[in-house]
Structure 1
């Protein structure tokens, strides 16, 4: 199955530039939507979820910096500002208020495309390492694991096993693959029950009833799956 293309909102009132950005980004297989004012951008943001926003600072009905602040109150979507040469202070304010990058007009489309690709890669990695499912929050970068408001203490081995199951949620991960990825080169020296013991410990920490697991389920004869997607 192919990955869904990233969806980008372009907020720029110069119609020629906006259309040029749309055509350029479509060549990179992104899905794009255009807005030419803050009002249109708000409408698009209400009806859609975006992976990245290209945001002009000067718009006919307001300031892109203020729109950035609005967005940040509800979303961590990456934002790249488009600015004029004489707007250095606005750039500083924008970055301090939640912008991720900026590019000064006139600019190279190749450079903008490269910056967009870099931000999307970083954002995707952050999403993979911070996962929210039901009452759980799993932050593998900060090593913070929550069930509701309660912090869970997980061993390094439990973290590795959990991360692998979550990365493949909804599908079965075989016992052999779990042993290989979690224990690596030392798997030949690991007790054959180590995987079952680690699964049991994870269930005791995550499940409301570990004898009737909802999240980590056994696929008999094959392995395990994180069943809730």
Structure 2
């Protein structure tokens, strides 16, 4: 018996954009639905949920940032912001509110479908291994033992390196800002700086290369933050 198609909720008040996106998503086999208002979207998500939300920032009743803020009080569904603005401040704000990706209009429907597919792949359920290990792509993490492996190689991590990498592993592929990483990994985030995160990312990359990583699993998004490819 085949599995149910992934459910994508498109929250967009411009009919032409919504119609184009719905057609592209449905053509790829997704169960795409649509609404035009932020409050309507929140009601639908509370009642029915979704697998991915494509959320316009400039909605007529409740801004997309506010929708995302409220959504994160009851759901961790992946959110892809859709906006006509390409301002760095807006990108950082959206990501810090809990969004997973950010697409600027005009956009390619094919690109948006690829981003939705990537969100679904990165949030697919993973099975826990024996001994408390949970596999995430080429990584495995033992939360209780505070250990992380890469391709079966146990990484020799400092306290803060572990905290940073564990935070990235909580949301594979999602862009996390430096302030988000500091809040999750540092006891006193206010005493740290962006440079602190950058320094630990540098040492983590060196340890991953030593463990056999090709390229850079930890990707830099300039002016925004970091994301981890698993």
TM-score bracket, normalised by the shorter chain, equals 0.5 to 0.7
The separation in 2 between residues aligned to 1:113 and 1:76, in whole angstroms, is 20
Question: What does residue 128 of structure 1 align with?
Answer: 126
The DSSP-based 3-state class of the residue aligned with 1:70 is: helix
Question: What does residue 143 of structure 1 align with?
Answer: 142
Q: Check whether the contact 1:56–1:81 (CA below 8 A) recurs between aligned residues.
A: yes
Structure-to-structure mapping, 1:32-47, within 5 angstroms? 32-47=32-47
CA RMSD in angstroms, aligned pairs only: 2.1
The DSSP-based 3-state class of the residue aligned with 1:114 is: helix
* TM-score, with structure 2 as normaliser: 0.56
Q: Check whether the contact 1:38–1:67 (CA below 8 A) recurs between aligned residues.
A: yes
**Larger RCO, structures 1/2 (Cα 8 Å, 6+ apart):** 2
* Per-residue deviation, 1:123: 0.7
Query: Are residues 103 and 130 of structure 1, via their aligned partners in 2, closer, same or farther at CA, if it must alter by over 3 Å?
Result: farther
* Per-residue deviation, 1:45: 1.1
* CA deviation map 1:133-191 (0-9, x unaligned): xxxxx77143247xxxxx9xxxxxxxxxxxxxxxxxxxxxxxxxxxxxxxxxxxxxxxx
The DSSP-based 3-state class of the residue aligned with 2:123 is: helix
The DSSP-based 3-state class of the residue aligned with 1:113 is: helix
* Per-residue deviation, 1:15: 1.4
The separation in 1 between residues aligned to 2:108 and 2:28, in whole angstroms, is 15
* Per-residue deviation, 1:105: 0.2
Structure 1 residue ranges, 4+ long, deviating more than 6 angstroms after superposition: none
Larger Rg computed on CA atoms: 1
User: Structure 2: where are the runs of 5+ without partners?
Assistant: 135-139, 146-230
Question: What does residue 91 of structure 1 align with?
Answer: 91
Question: What does residue 57 of structure 1 align with?
Answer: 57
Question: What does residue 105 of structure 1 align with?
Answer: 105
The DSSP-based 3-state class of the residue aligned with 1:58 is: coil
* Count of residue correspondences: 138
User: Structure 1: where are the runs of 5+ without partners?
Assistant: 132-137, 146-150, 152-229
